[in-house]
Chain A
Amino acid sequence: MNARQDPDTQADDSALLSVRGLTVHHGQLRAVADLDLDIAPGETVAVIGANGAGKSTLLGALAGILRPSAGTIRFAGRDVTGLPAHRRVAEGICLVPEGRRLFPSLTVEENLLTGAYRRRPGPWSVEAVMDLFPWMRERRGQSAARLSGGEQQAVALGRALVGNPRLLLLDEVSLGLAPAVVQRIYALLPALLNGHSPAQGISVLLVEQDVAQALKVADRVHCLLEGRVALSGRPAELTARQVERAYFGPTRPRDSAA
């Protein structure tokens, strides 16, 4: 199912995030090709796909780390395509990067405080994050380098939340973590809506290798293949066969002999 829209379609300004015709190159390689995407306020959107499908590149362009070669990114009605990465937090876009990337010479509390550097007004604060993860209170003075993978992921998530984003970008949260830890982290996502109505809640765009987990938490899912959206829809409406086809492409992997 080809989800590409007509190239003349205007960006949807009722959406919080509206991506049109996004093309991002890694040198000669076109990692994201002419991609369209919308995210409504308070919506959780998952982007799945095989390695090299363009998922992390898409997040990189949304976070401002990578410059698109073509296309537009509109956020809350503003064109942010060329906005440098360090100005996006003030706009309301916070990325939890792949591999956590906490600051190793800072403590747990200091890492959370860095998220408040350019924070927007809102309900999230270092104290609120510590209410969400009570263990952080006891270990607030501990060096971030000494945390386990799951704990680092929690701190990285808290660091992004403290900025009070309108759009939270999650890059491969499950990478390197035990399945039980991943489940616990994803179980937190509803808490991000924080009791507000969906229109006021935080939108989430998550990139995931763990397809089952992604389908469980997302309102809508996009499957990328070679930089384009190969499949879109609500998880309940998609069959496993459809997802598999979109994930791997027209050539199905051979069934191994029993």
Chain B
Amino acid sequence: MIWVDALVQGLLLGGLYALFACGLSLMFGVMRIVNLAHGDFAVLAAFLAYSLATATPLGTLGATLLLVPAFAAFGYLVQRGLIQRALTVGPLSTLLATFGLSIVIQNALLQGYSGDTRALNPGSLVSASLHLGGGIDVAYLALITFGLAVAVLAALQLFLKISRTGRMLRAASDDPGAAALVGADARHLYGIAAALAFGTVALAGLMFAMRSSFDPSIGPTRLLYAFEAVVIGGLGSLWGTLIGGMVLGLAQTFGAQYDPAFTLLSGHLVFLAVLAFRPQGLIPARSMS
């Protein structure tokens, strides 16, 4: 039964990884850039939520409702102000610029909050769980996180497929020059993609902070898992990101059953296996041009 439990926990953990990964996937899919500060923004959101939750009457839920749209707006500004300029210089420049951002955020957090670990208090959800048969307990928090991941991915997919702006986002990612010829300002569209990415990563950071303690330095590891989930699932496919997250989660929970020390290593090994035997990922949605 412990293996069924590992299965369930792994799948649900995949939801959290998918939530981290979808913003990364979106920014890479639309703009062909990897935001090296992706994980650090999640940690920044967690620390800000901590401050808001402890210093104001907002509480964790209020902080979440405030920070997710705030980070989306912040993402639009970071894209238009910083990343766009780096983009015009060249592809490597965005790596450098976001790497610099990552360092700035980590050190600013260290300066502001010290290196002590914090945790977000999700209130009554912290220990409540659903009791399934056979000794399997599923934490409500994990269920909610997974549900949010599916809802966010579905909403993003719908947005890209049906809405006018989503369609132009796809067009601009194909050919920004031709998109300009039909009246699309690629900079504004990229800003929207970044806003979506920052909003989702803030949500991911907050959901993570509710289940686990965090400190200023864990950003890059979050980025790594997000990156692995995207690659395992397949670049360019949002649902692939969910699959990739679940595969990564399963690898970790099964590895943990074998030996807790292997938890993280198992995930990395599966990632390496995918790179070696199926580098296009499980659900390749577009060929790399």
> Residue of A at shortest CB range from B289?
A104
Contact A89 B177, CB 8 Å, known A110-B167, A114-B171, A117-B168: no
Interface positions, chain A 60-101, Cβ under 8 Å from B, are 63-65, 84-90, 94-95, 97, 101
Max chain A Cβ within 10 angstroms of own Cβ: one of B179, B180, B181, B186: B181
Contact of B182 with A115 in the complex, beta carbons under 8 Å: yes
| CA A106 to CA B180, docked complex, whole Å | 16
Find chain B residues with CB under 8 A from A89 CB. 181-183
Residue in A65, A106, A117 whose CB lies within 8 Å of B177:
A65
Residue of B nearest to A102 (CB): B178
B137 within 8 A of A: no
Q: Once the chains bind, are B183 and A87 in contact (CB under 8 Å)?
A: yes
Q: How far is the CB of A104 from chain B (nearest CB, A)?
A: 6
Q: Is the CB of B167 within 8 A of A86?
A: no
Judged by a CB distance under 8 angstroms, whether B7 is at the interface is no
Taking CB as reference atom, which chain A residue is nearest B164?
A: A117
Known: A103-B171, A106-B170. A85 touches B180 (CB 8 A): yes
**With contacts defined as CB atoms under 8 Å apart, how many contacts are there between chain A and chain B in the complex?**
71
Contacts of A63 in B (CB 8 A): 181
* CB of B175 within 8 Å of the partner chain: yes
CA distance A105 to B236 in the complex (A): 11
Give the CA-CA distance A115 to B168 in the complex, in Å. 10
Decide yes or no whether B286 CB sits under 8 A from chain A: yes
- Contact present for B183 and A117 (CB under 8 Å): yes
A interface residues, tally (CB under 8 Å): 27
Residues of A within 8 A of B178 (CB): 97, 101-103
B residues 143-181 near A (Cβ < 8 Å) are 164, 167-168, 170-171, 173-175, 177-181
The CA-CA distance from A102 to B186 in the complex, in Å, is 16
Q: Is the CB of B170 within 8 A of A103?
A: yes
Q: Which residues from A are CB-within-8-Å of B174?
A: 103-106
A103 touching B175, Cβ below 8 Å: yes
Which residues does chain A contribute within 8 Å of B164, judged by CB atoms? Answer: 113, 117
Contact across chains for B177 and A86 when beta carbons are under 8 A apart: no
Q: Taking A86-B183, A97-B181, A117-B182 as contacts, is the C-beta distance between A106 and B286 under 8 angstroms?
A: no
Chain B residues near A102 (CB-CB < 8 A): 178
CB closest chain-A residue, reference B236: A105
Docked-complex contact B177 and A114, CB < 8 angstroms: no
User: Which residues of the other chain, A, contact B175 by a CB distance below 8 angstroms?
Assistant: 101, 103
**A118–B189 Cα gap in the complex (Å)?**
14
Give chain A nearest CB distance to B197 CB in angstroms.
Answer: 19
Q: Which residues does A use to contact B, with CB under 8 Å?
A: 63-65, 84-90, 94-95, 97, 101-106, 110, 113-115, 117-118, 159, 163
- What would 15 more interface pairs be, CB under 8 Å, given A87-B183, A102-B178, A103-B174? A65-B180, A65-B181, A84-B180, A85-B180, A85-B181, A86-B179, A101-B177, A103-B170, A103-B175, A105-B173, A105-B286, A106-B170, A114-B168, A117-B164, A159-B182
- Chain B interface residues toward A at CB < 8 A: 164, 167-168, 170-171, 173-175, 177-186, 286
17 contacts between A and B (CB under 8 A): A64-B180, A86-B179, A88-B183, A95-B181, A97-B177, A97-B178, A101-B181, A102-B178, A103-B171, A105-B170, A106-B167, A106-B171, A110-B167, A110-B170, A114-B184, A117-B168, A117-B184
A-B CB proximity, top 8 nearest:
A118-B183, A89-B183, A101-B178, A85-B180, A103-B174, A86-B180, A103-B171, A86-B185
